[in-house]
Structure 1
Amino acid sequence: MAFETVLVANRGEIARRIIRTLRSSGLRSVAVYSDADADAPHVREADTAMRLGPAPAAESYLDVDAVMRAARESGAQALHPGYGFLSESVALAQACAEAGIVFIGPSTTALEIMGDKVTAREQVAARGVPVVPGFDATGLSDDQIALRAAQVGYPLLVKPSAGGGGKGMEVVVDETHLDAALASARRVAKAAFADDSLLLERLIARPRHIEVQVFGDAHGTVIALGERECTLQRRHQKVIEEAPSAGLSGEVRERLFDAAVRAAESVSYVGAGTVEFLVDADAPDEFFFIEMNTRLQVEHPVTEEVIGLDLVALQLAVAAGERVPSAPPVTGHAVEARIYAESPERGFLPQAGSILRFDAPSDVRVDAAIETGSEVTGFYDPMIAKVIAHGADRASALAQLDAAMAETVILGVETNIAFLRALVTNERVVSGDLDTALIETLLPVSPAAPSAGMLAAAKQALRDEAGRATARFDGQDPSRRAGRVWAALTDAGARDVAFLTDAGDVVDAGDAEATASLPTAIDADGAVWVSEAGRSVRLRPLDRRARMLQRLAARESAAAATHPEARAPMPGNVAAVHVEDGQTVAAGQPLVSIEAMKMEHPVLAPHDGTVHLSVAVGDQARRDQVVATVSAREPGAPVPGTTEGAA
């Protein structure tokens, strides 16, 4: 190889995955980290590690100068950017070239052209690759955009010209929603990519998202290494990916491969890349170019599983000047599930916390960012692991994946595992009847009550903890955690233990005794986490007084009017304030937007009334912090947007 030391300019599971291949290739690895990741697994697994800066990504993983300083000081001769962060940064690639460091990725020209959706459309269209009808909104006024949008026809998809990953995308069903969508898309694009230029495209009614893995070398060869089905998405973020696609004919597949190779050849592409297409589920012979991702993809493991190649090793070889091999045949079927620290029952809100226990499933591939003891913070993407199953056919791969997720234990943060299990066993998914809106048909996700087995296991965990606390403190004042546990058990005589769920329900464990050994853990607040068949719940023990107060509060809440306080759904930055203090608002009207974990979450008015703001743009909000209060509308006062109550 032309290099011996490689700096991995990333974090989490992709950093660990790259380090694994570097080790097997006999190359020295250099990890980088922010203050939030000082004790992260990827830092310990590398041969050496370099600090970048504080926890915010803009001051660490997105700081080109800091990354290059780490590369120079560590003696790295090459840099692998992973995906996300600076993986498609022209500035980083250029800095590497100037420093004589090999950038394991394409040329700056390819990054520049394919990094802008408008330029990329024009580039590939000139090579005969079909594109979705649409237009570049750069330099146009909102009135001009509205005129062009009407010419293309609704529904439309508004998306940032720079960046990817679904950030900033807005669906516009008609002209009345266009202004709000443009404002939101620009705001997110400016914050995420420092570029608020937009592209508007016709929205395909029932699209399938198919991408082709391409690989090019410095000798002018570009090959296609199969396609991936990435149709199962939520908020434009992929959730389940598989290879090969379940819905392509052989003839369409070959046309897709040809179009993908032509797109990559148009920029003399070198390295791993992905050309993404929309395929109309109702007209599967048609497909349209979306964009080209000039990097390795999150879902690359499913391709590796069916073609038998290590794509990171191939990236290293191509970066060292070697030629790409012939494309190997596809064998079997692979499916990947992305595990996120999020709450499906609360609109998939990202979660943060300590991983009290992580048990990975056996007999499948697991690429994880976490281990027992890891911290999941609000600074980065909430994806914490990927589970990948490979079977002889699609049915067996799906069944394997479901069984593996049933084995997975994650305690300490809420996850989407139970939702993923429901998804991979869904009738439409199993039959291959897919489109990108399928997940929306399964929403909202209703909270499920803890099973009798979970309650019994939680009760037993409390007994065990109380026993340990008694021995440890021997009559002295216990810790907060042990004190809460002991109070709940002592008050109930260790028989009728009650718990409060995160949904706000009080549940009684009764006289149930644990008959199966379910994984449990107790957090710093004395709450018991229990896992059963991939699903985890958090149960807070209640003493007699707490039970009485909870039931009283529930009765009062059921009889009371909507609470006036609007609260932040999660920790984050106040990205926008949509109203003025003292303004009259309507129920459901957006008041502020909280940005965290690459997403923007609107906080809505709980009812009609007058708003009083508690935060400003740029403030940091805590989870459940009051960001605004809406005093109820006086009887006879007009409802916003109407003449009701007017004289």
Structure 2
Amino acid sequence: MFDTVLVANRGEIAVRVIRTLRALGVRSVAVFSDADADARHVREADTAVRIGPAPASESYLSVERLLQAAARTGAQAVHPGYGFLAENAGFARACEEAGLVFIGPSADAIALMGDKIRAKETVRAAGVPVVPGSSGSGLTDAELAGAAREIGMPVLLKPSAGGGGKGMRLVRDEAALAEEIAAARREARASFGDDTLLVERWIDRPRHIEIQVLADGHGNVVHLGERECSLQRRHQKIIEEAPSVLLDEATRAAMGEAAVQAARSCGYRGAGTVEFIVPGGDPSSYYFMEMNTRLQVEHPVTELITGLDLVEWQLRVASGEPLGFAQEDVTLTGHAVEARICAEDPARGFLPSGGTVLLLAEPQGDGLRTDSGLSEGTEVGSLYDPMLSKVIAYGPDRATALRKLRAALAETVTLGVPTNAGFLRRLLAHPAVVAGELDTGLVERAVDDLIPSGVPEEVYEAAAAVRLEELRPTGDGWVNPFSVPDGWRLSGKPKPVSFPLRVPGEEPVAHARRGTDAHVTPDTVSVTLDGVRHTFRRAADWLGRDGDAWQVRDHDPVAASLSRSAHAGADSLTAPMPGTVTVVKVAVGDEVEAGQSLLVVEAMKMEHVVSAPHAGTVAELDVTPGSTVAMDQVLAVIAPREEA
């Protein structure tokens, strides 16, 4: 076993790897950018090295700086985690050339399986069924569009070099092919440095099922069962579970053997995942999609049902040990479900969010596990992936695991940064999810029913209670009765104290407290409405309950009125998320049509197009390509066109 391992990653995965290194008595080395100088993974490692400024291209993606950090700290091996350089063949090869062990497969295996086009051809030759699609690499836009028309709509555009759903585009309308191909190339280039695309047949209502494999350097390959990953948004997983309720033992064994053959076909070594697309109505008709040549985000559910530490086995295999068990020794016991907590706002189309973690509570306990990179004070920006943590529940059966996870999400608090925890809790209670009737489009179909409309009245009641408490005089001496905010008047009939409040994205309200009792502490506030007691966690102007959170700001109606007057008749286009402006298509004075795309804002590897709300003229343009913007920051002002 190694003495010292450098973890070439950040956030929750770095913390996770460091935990196993500590358990094995191996010294851990963390790396960090300027944005992560005080991050949790930095504090938990045995030592840490600064590798550059905040942009990933100058820090976490710099092979040279990572190798320098390994040399300075005496590391013998590098664990790449997932994301960044985890599936970069050049990085694996550079580690080997520097005399470091890359904890993962060989550079050749990464290159082969990282090219989705070559990967499909390789596994097809090994007898593994693949999704029908385009053939050949380096297709032009016209060739991709021709292949799509030949396959027939709908089709899926996919970057050949990447994964995680980034750059993938579902195209149902042939007329939109050119625009979607351009957007997919742009996202692929930004995420993976390679804009090569392929096109595949889209299978309606598919299920996404993947097989975990382990292979050593002595010719042994086993699979550890499957994970159901069908609950997704924007082609990215948000809930995963093991095992899948869809598969019977015969199908599980067949898919497992296909995954083993796929791993053997590329001479795989270490932990990897073979992903399949499965028609829900015919599980026996499964198709190979891709192989992820790294540890997966969802690996904890496999660990919980097998009792194996996958990071430990990555380390043992990389140090030359053979697997200590055969396929017949692998047993699957119980059920595990994982929820990914992401910095995003479901009510705003899952757009990335950001902020400072003001109050943090992460569930732990019997049958519960939280893998997290968070701590109070963590700054969540727009430079890195939006996933913050994972909450995993285990039980003897699926119903128990689901129930435990819903309860755990209700206890999850991340005030200061909008997250999807409350949305995930409601998703897990959806009848189709409870019944195991899943497919990759379920979340999109059910989303409107899973996002509450408006802000519950008790949220404003609690916010008003906090403000009322803050107005009360303090001290033990004489209190001026006119300074007590109780609404007292000479007429003898109290007038309720009203507070102008606003939740971002909602209309402002003037809320007068209805209840008479409230209990306010530094971390909580409880109010009673219509006989029902409501308790919230609180920090600054944030309130949280059952995984949901609201930022309730004080509203200044005078300032708002002046702002409206300054742009009377015009529409201000604001940033839908904190991020970076990557494309500006117009200039001041340009005439635009309703729906015309004007700007592109990118955050956390996601693009958002900002379009004209109506026909008119660009009256103001406050950004240029490369501008960093905050959520709701004004980007441009469009004056409406005067009709004759």
Same-fold status (TM-score > 0.5): yes
State which of 492, 498, 501 in structure 2 corresponds to 1:499: 501
Alpha-carbon contact 2:18-2:45 (below 8 Å) kept: yes
Residue in 1 that maps onto 2:369: 365
Residue in 1 that maps onto 2:240: 241
Residue in 1 that maps onto 2:626: 618
RMSD over equivalenced CA pairs, Å? 2.8
What amino acid sits opposite 1:44 in the alignment? Answer: R
Deviation at 1:627, TM superposition (A): 2.8
Alpha-carbon contact 1:15-1:42 (below 8 Å) kept: yes
Deviation at 1:499, TM superposition (A): 2.2
Structure 1 residues 104 and 493: CA distance shift in structure 2, 3 A: farther
The separation in 2 between residues aligned to 1:250 and 1:82, in whole angstroms, is 31
Deviation at 1:573, TM superposition (A): 2.0
Alpha-carbon contact 1:462-1:489 (below 8 Å) kept: no
Q: TM-score, normalised by structure 1?
A: 0.89
SS at match of 2:134: strand
Alpha-carbon contact 1:562-1:606 (below 8 Å) kept: no
State which of 546, 549, 552 in structure 2 corresponds to 1:539: 552
Q: Does 1:89 align with 2:102?
A: no
State which of 455, 462, 469 in structure 1 corresponds to 2:467: 462
Structure 1 residues 26 and 582: CA distance shift in structure 2, 3 A: same
What amino acid sits opposite 2:581 in the alignment? Answer: V
Residue in 2 that maps onto 1:431: 435
Alpha-carbon contact 1:495-1:511 (below 8 Å) kept: no
SS at match of 1:67: helix
The separation in 1 between residues aligned to 2:346 and 2:591, in whole angstroms, is 32
The separation in 2 between residues aligned to 1:441 and 1:561, in whole angstroms, is 38
What amino acid sits opposite 2:253 in the alignment? Answer: E
Residue in 2 that maps onto 1:214: 213
SS at match of 1:31: strand
Alpha-carbon contact 1:137-1:198 (below 8 Å) kept: no
The separation in 2 between residues aligned to 1:625 and 1:618, in whole angstroms, is 15
State which of 588, 596, 606 in structure 1 corresponds to 2:603: 596
> Deviations for 1:353-407, whole angstroms, at most 9, x for unmatched residues?
1111111123210111112222111111111111100011111111110011111
Deviation at 1:616, TM superposition (A): 3.4
SS at match of 1:42: helix
The separation in 2 between residues aligned to 1:191 and 1:488, in whole angstroms, is 55
Structure 1 residues 144 and 313: CA distance shift in structure 2, 3 A: closer
What amino acid sits opposite 2:149 in the alignment? Answer: A
Q: What pairs up with 1:233-382 in 2 under 5 angstroms?
A: 233-324=232-323, 325-327=325-327, 328-363=330-365, 364-382=368-386
Q: Does 1:413 align with 2:417?
A: yes
The separation in 2 between residues aligned to 1:446 and 1:305, in whole angstroms, is 31
Q: Does 1:42 align with 2:41?
A: yes
Aligned-pair identity in percent equals 52
State which of 607, 615, 633 in structure 1 corresponds to 2:641: 633
Structure 1 residues 361 and 466: CA distance shift in structure 2, 3 A: farther
Deviation at 1:145, TM superposition (A): 2.7
Structure 1 residues 508 and 182: CA distance shift in structure 2, 3 A: same
> Deviations for 1:458-480, whole angstroms, at most 9, x for unmatched residues?
34433555569x67xxxxxxxxx
What amino acid sits opposite 1:31 in the alignment? Answer: A
> Deviations for 1:42-85, whole angstroms, at most 9, x for unmatched residues?
10110000001101111111111111111110111111010001
> Deviations for 1:406-427, whole angstroms, at most 9, x for unmatched residues?
1112211111111111100001
- Structure 1, unaligned stretches of length 5 or more? 472-485, 637-647
Alpha-carbon contact 2:369-2:392 (below 8 Å) kept: yes
SS at match of 2:377: coil
What amino acid sits opposite 1:359 in the alignment? Answer: A
What amino acid sits opposite 2:87 in the alignment? Answer: E
The separation in 1 between residues aligned to 2:189 and 2:443, in whole angstroms, is 28
State which of 526, 529, 532 in structure 1 corresponds to 2:542: 529
SS at match of 2:580: strand
Deviation at 1:340, TM superposition (A): 1.0
The separation in 2 between residues aligned to 1:189 and 1:365, in whole angstroms, is 33
Alpha-carbon contact 1:11-1:32 (below 8 Å) kept: yes
Deviation at 1:292, TM superposition (A): 0.4
SS at match of 1:135: coil
Residue in 2 that maps onto 1:111: 110
Residue in 2 that maps onto 1:393: 397
Deviation at 1:155, TM superposition (A): 0.7
The separation in 2 between residues aligned to 1:43 and 1:285, in whole angstroms, is 46
Q: Does 1:569 align with 2:576?
A: yes
Structure 1 residues 392 and 627: CA distance shift in structure 2, 3 A: same
Between Structure 1 and Structure 2, how many residues are aligned? 612
Q: What pairs up with 1:126-141 in 2 under 5 angstroms?
A: 126-136=125-135, 138-141=137-140
The separation in 1 between residues aligned to 2:378 and 2:60, in whole angstroms, is 19
Q: TM-score, normalised by structure 2?
A: 0.89
SS at match of 1:134: coil
Deviation at 1:143, TM superposition (A): 2.9
Deviation at 1:449, TM superposition (A): 4.3
The separation in 1 between residues aligned to 2:55 and 2:300, in whole angstroms, is 28
- Structure 2, unaligned stretches of length 5 or more? 476-482, 489-493, 520-524, 527-534
Structure 1 residues 309 and 577: CA distance shift in structure 2, 3 A: same
Deviation at 1:509, TM superposition (A): 4.7
Residue in 1 that maps onto 2:479: none
